[in-house]
Amino acid sequence: MSAGLIYAVTGVLLFSLGFYGLIVHAHLVRKILAFNIMGSGTFLVLVGLAQRADSVDPVPQALVLTGIVVAVSATAFALILARRLYAASGRCALPGEEER
């Protein structure tokens, strides 16, 4: 089993775990964390698929680095929106969803 395959399988597992958390939880901060776990899984899949037997493809690695920067910015923006929703409504869940 190669290192690239291990990265790819781990990435698929992380993506699945994040997707499950995104569907199950109503709390917005937990949804944001689940979305970040999904993103980490996607990055691992890209890194795993970029590895070849003889060399490493630099383009997917550059995409992953760019994706990490975008993910940090999007997470900060999502947390600001969740904080404003909490200040406006007193709840940190979407309307119509019950907090657990």
Angle between helices 28-50 and 58-89 (to 10 degrees): 180
pTM of the predicted structure, to 2 decimals: 0.85
Between CA 66 and CA 70 the distance in angstroms is 6
CA-CA-CA-CA torsion sign (71, 65, 16, 10): negative
Mean pLDDT of 49-59: 82
DSSP H helices in the chain = 3-24, 28-50, 58-89
User: What confidence score (pLDDT) does residue 79 get?
Assistant: 94
Contact call for residues 42 and 64 (beta carbons, < 8 A): no
Q: How confident is the model at residue 97 (pLDDT cuts 50, 70, 90)?
A: low
